[in-house]
Structure 1
């Protein structure tokens, strides 16, 4: 595959991961429409639907923790394969579940299986790609994720007309196809480590003593609480305004389309920027976009808000990934990826649960303006912490785990 940006080619193994991720994301129908499925097909209230999606997040929290451990101990490749094939089977199980308890259990287990791949894949990219190329690599990888998302959002909105079970089957099939591609073309990337690093690698406490990193994780949790409202509360807000599910699919697909169209240009821009300083600005733009949703009631206005917060996301996501790789010791990349992933999984539970409660109690306006305030607080935190993060990246943690600042 031809290089998309820059003169130096990214490694071939990276492009296999890129392709497998694209295949998986093109079929990622179910999570996009799960709120609508539960409320319109299974009779769940918005709060109950948010709770089920939250259980997916709880399972994901277990999954990323276990996945990070397995990626460092067992290996990146077997961890990714276990996640993809188990996730495919459990997607079908969720599709055939009917009772509330069955649906909740299936969502919990699916979250654990599906999300355990994240630390392994993130560690693989950090293993494969040299440090000076990681910003470009993560931006390109992020481009694949959103190309798949754009396609799946549009296709799923119309495929749902043929029956929602079609979405579950398609999602399971593409997840299995991604697993087959990894099994066929990816070799193990876990680097060999020195004996003293092997000892430290087994200690999750080492990660939990790293205050700079934990601050980074906590700040990302605030961003994730805002970002994930587009998967849970945004479709309900649009339905409340009398807009059909197809309109939501098209509007939310703008997120992926904009990223696909512009992310490579953003990659060139970010190559000359410092990730720790890009993140505060990007987070503020995300907050502005979600805050403006309080005033949107037509497809055009909803589309405008999506374009605003997408611009922030395009800057924030690759900067965050590159900074995460820089903060992570080589011997503990899986663990650090897993603990960082906990911020997203905690948000997967808290965002729909809190979002549904705020919406039921105070209405859409309070929900979206509250999102703006949370994002601005996260932006301020990132700005204040930028110098400490840059000092850590400048002196990589893998040089001496014992010197991590407490």
Structure 2
């Protein structure tokens, strides 16, 4: 019993109440966030859209998402984390209700694009708020729990979405709106504003930042150390998205049924839900660049194995390998991203970081489809090779990242001492 208590304290102890309310809001939102999973099916079956038109509407949602992460980052740094989260959740709930009762495809497309914007706005604000309130030594745990909540919520959403879609597409949107509204209430009532309004003169700018302009998105977009890390994260995202974009096609070409694909995806979800809470103890004491190198290499190895996969057991074994890589990567990836951001630009840096995911959602299917068509199973050798190259990239760039993080910490400490003396 004591060992179980020690494990729980080590995994989730020492985190402030505000974090847990943020965590609850994220879990509720993800568990109810299933309308977009069936948007293309809704358009073709309930609204009579062609497959190409349905794809264009879903693409509009993705384009809106790219703009949403940037807007969310700017608002979270200027307006506040809590205000941005509440506004985005309320707007999402309203748009979902409007989508439930819209009949015209032009209106649905416009609403989907707007929904992409407000759906993506909370991501930078969530992470910035977590960094604001969680002590540095506990952030790895916090990000691990965030990743776990996201995947647990998605697993619940996947189960509920199919049932609701069979009953009523209108109910699908309305229940999603209700869950989003519930998350907004939790955040509005229980989460205080975490943005420190006071600005300290002499705030350090990262390499590439310009002092003749007020710091903003351009600072993050010209920070070479940070952008190198974002580029490696983009590779990670492209690899991860192979499971939902290209792998189904490869399994079909191998003569496997859709149920086999479902089994592979379900196995990954089960592993994350059951095993993610054990990751912090596994990676404690290890350098983060080495953990990321190992995790990315595991992703590369898992996808390389698909070059020789012809039946379900090989796919399942490969899924175990790349899922372990994903699990190991989540905490250090999020923590490095947070550590590289100056405090006054925290949400903007998160916004630039999150751009990697909509970019990957375009690159993975667009280039992957061409690669699979013309190269066949050699496509997986290329994917695996990208993983191994990214692993080397983490090892090469890791020391520079750590020096940059140390310099930022010293600068923040130097600025904090005069401010504390003035307050005293």
TM-score (norm 2): 0.82
The equivalent of 1:376 in structure 2 is 388
Q: CA deviation at 1:326?
A: 1.0
The equivalent of 1:394 in structure 2 is 406
Establish whether residue 107 from structure 1 lines up as the match of residue 112 from structure 2: yes
Establish whether residue 162 from structure 1 lines up as the match of residue 176 from structure 2: no
CA distance in 2, matches of 1:192, 1:365: 54
CA distance in 1, matches of 2:69, 2:403: 27
CA distance in 1, matches of 2:181, 2:171: 16
Contact 1:327 1:397 in 2 (8 A): no
Larger radius of gyration: 2
Contact 1:60 1:112 in 2 (8 A): yes
Contact 1:50 1:352 in 2 (8 A): no
The equivalent of 1:172 in structure 2 is 177
CA distance in 1, matches of 2:374, 2:41: 21
Establish whether residue 18 from structure 1 lines up as the match of residue 44 from structure 2: no
1:265 maps to which of 257, 271, 278: 278
Contact 2:16 2:133 in 1 (8 A): yes
Establish whether residue 70 from structure 1 lines up as the match of residue 84 from structure 2: no
Higher relative contact order (CA 8 A, sep 6+): 1
CA distance in 2, matches of 1:170, 1:29: 9
The equivalent of 1:362 in structure 2 is 374
Q: CA deviation at 1:74?
A: 0.3
Q: CA deviation at 1:394?
A: 2.0
The equivalent of 1:212 in structure 2 is 225
| CA RMSD of superposed structures (Å) | 3.2
Q: Which residues of 2 match residues 110-149 of structure 1 at below 5 A? A: 110-149=115-154
The equivalent of 1:404 in structure 2 is none
Return closer, same or farther for 1:145/1:376 CA change in 2, 3 Å cut-off.
Answer: same
Gaps of 5+ in 2: 204-210, 414-424
**Secondary structure class of the residue paired with 2:10:** coil
Return closer, same or farther for 1:385/1:204 CA change in 2, 3 Å cut-off.
Answer: same
Return closer, same or farther for 1:164/1:237 CA change in 2, 3 Å cut-off.
Answer: farther
Return closer, same or farther for 1:254/1:29 CA change in 2, 3 Å cut-off.
Answer: farther
What do residues 233-290 of structure 1 show as CA deviations (whole Å, max 9, x unaligned)? 445555675634x665554233232112111211112232222221121112122323
CA distance in 2, matches of 1:231, 1:276: 27
Return closer, same or farther for 1:271/1:210 CA change in 2, 3 Å cut-off.
Answer: same
What do residues 342-401 of structure 1 show as CA deviations (whole Å, max 9, x unaligned)? 111222333333344545x43763554443233233222222111111111222268279
Return closer, same or farther for 1:39/1:248 CA change in 2, 3 Å cut-off.
Answer: farther
The equivalent of 2:10 in structure 1 is 6
Contact 2:134 2:142 in 1 (8 A): yes
Q: How many residues align?
A: 397
**Secondary structure class of the residue paired with 2:8:** coil
Establish whether residue 342 from structure 1 lines up as the match of residue 355 from structure 2: yes
2:320 maps to which of 276, 292, 307: 307
CA distance in 2, matches of 1:239, 1:73: 48
**Secondary structure class of the residue paired with 1:188:** coil
Q: CA deviation at 1:295?
A: 4.9
Return closer, same or farther for 1:278/1:50 CA change in 2, 3 Å cut-off.
Answer: farther
Q: CA deviation at 1:228?
A: 2.2
**Secondary structure class of the residue paired with 1:187:** coil
Gaps of 5+ in 1: 402-406
**Secondary structure class of the residue paired with 1:396:** helix
Return closer, same or farther for 1:95/1:4 CA change in 2, 3 Å cut-off.
Answer: farther
**Secondary structure class of the residue paired with 1:273:** coil
Return closer, same or farther for 1:358/1:98 CA change in 2, 3 Å cut-off.
Answer: farther
TM-score (norm 1): 0.85
CA distance in 1, matches of 2:312, 2:108: 31
Return closer, same or farther for 1:180/1:207 CA change in 2, 3 Å cut-off.
Answer: same
CA distance in 1, matches of 2:229, 2:138: 22
Return closer, same or farther for 1:277/1:352 CA change in 2, 3 Å cut-off.
Answer: same
| Bigger mean CA deviation after superposition, 228-237 or 316-325 | 228-237
CA distance in 2, matches of 1:237, 1:164: 30
Return closer, same or farther for 1:389/1:18 CA change in 2, 3 Å cut-off.
Answer: same
Contact 1:224 1:347 in 2 (8 A): yes
Return closer, same or farther for 1:377/1:78 CA change in 2, 3 Å cut-off.
Answer: same
The equivalent of 2:289 in structure 1 is 276
CA distance in 2, matches of 1:164, 1:365: 38
